[in-house]
Amino acid sequence: MTAAVGTGAIDTDVHCAPSSLAELEPFLDEYWREYLVDGGQSLSPSQGGAYPPLAPLSATPAARAAGLLPANDVEQLRSAVLNPQALKAAVLNCTTSFHCNRNPYYEAALTRAVNDWLVENWLSRDERLRASLVVPTLDAAAAVAEIERLGSHPQIVQVLLPVRTDTPWGNIRHRALLRAAAERDLVVGLHAWGRIGHAPTPSGLTRTYLEDYLANSQILVQAQVTSLITQGAFAELPTLRVTLLECGFSWLPALLWRFDKDWKGVWREVPWLSGKPSEVARRHLRLTTAPAQLPQDPLQVRQALDLLDAGTMLMHASDHPHDHGPGGERLLAALTDAERAHVLTGNAEGWYSFGA
């Protein structure tokens, strides 16, 4: 355990990952350990193609030089992120299970192992750390059981789900999972990427990494937001909070303008939606600052942030070790002192109930 928590920013998206499945073996029962060996299972070095190791955006130069793609132990994270940035807290997001195979029993075992690895090897070793619980996406009952098993851990603040799914998260089939999170005061984090077999666009699979990357962080997340609002998830679960992680944010105002306009004409299809979709989004959604897709002109940056109400809607994220360029610096420079304090610390403190 470290010394007292510091007074710096709260980083809401820091990646960690086991270096190999061998790190997870102590947290698997004998059957699954044999399954890994007999089946020749291994972790994808690029997380299913999400982060090609040599792509510039997959790691900052410093992280790449240190071999942090991403960090796989607490000491690495302390020296690279926690101590240099004097962070008050950091939320760990491990996406290792996002692209695993289609065996629901293996996925459930893998997510349990990842969570136990997070608790024992990370959370117990630094009080500044918080973590997102990973859950299976192929078995809703198993996902609820995992939330019930570990959701009350004081350093677990979020349930991590991929934006790339076969059925949007607002669909009624996922309601039990969302309810389990809301009842335990856990945020639901929708993070870019997911199972690679799912088409990331309405017109099918992509042909280039650029298409795939843009679809994951722009197109898919908009579909998830639309689903959660129109299919009544927030109406049925009024305490449900959702964070959009590594999905950008500059697209949100345009989506909500169109959403409000079309809702006026077809509101009878969604009788549970008693107010404007934009109002629902502002109550139930928050977004992380990385990646920040913003213009270079400071005036235009300020205008974009005003359209979003950035001081309320955004939470600081480094997305370590990934490299999204200077957009985050332009964002912070355009904020007022009060807005910057909210984005760097205050918004996350309230959203994740850090002070409770």
Quick one: pLDDT at residue 355? 61
Tell me which residue range forms the domain holding 240: 10-351
Q: How many CA atoms lie within 13 A of 225 on its CB side?
A: 33
Residue 316 located in a structural domain = yes
Characterize the bridge pairing of strands 285-288 and 242-245. parallel
Residue 4 located in a structural domain = no
Of residues 180 and 57, more confidently modeled:
180
Quick one: pLDDT at residue 2? 33
Residue 1 located in a structural domain = no
What is the rounded average pLDDT of the residues 155-164? 96
Give me the number of domains the chain comprises: 1
Q: What is the pLDDT of residues 198-232, one digit of tens each?
A: 666 666 777 787 787 777 778 889 999 999 999 99
Confidence of residue 235 (pLDDT cuts 50, 70, 90): very high
Where in 145-274 does DSSP place strands (E)? Answer: 156-164, 187-194, 242-245
Calpha distance 90→341 (Å, rounded): 16
Residue 356 located in a structural domain = no
Residue 41 located in a structural domain = yes
Q: Residue 3, class by beta-carbon neighbours within 10 Å (0-12 exposed, 13-18 middle, 19+ buried)?
A: exposed
Confidence of residue 196 (pLDDT cuts 50, 70, 90): low
Edge-to-edge order in the sheet of strand 314-315: 10-15, 89-93, 129-134, 156-164, 187-194, 242-245, 285-288, 314-315
Q: Which CATH number does the domain housing residue 68 bear? A: 3.20.20.140
Residue 2 located in a structural domain = no
| Assigned token pair, 185 | 């005061």
Residue 3 located in a structural domain = no
DSSP, residue by residue, 236-267: H-TT--EEEESS-STTHHHHHHHHHHHHHHHG
Q: What is the pLDDT of residues 278-307, one digit of tens each?
A: 999 999 999 999 999 999 999 999 999 999
Quick one: pLDDT at residue 6? 47
Residue 5 located in a structural domain = no
pTM: 0.94
Average pLDDT, the chain: 91
3-state secondary structure of 125: helix
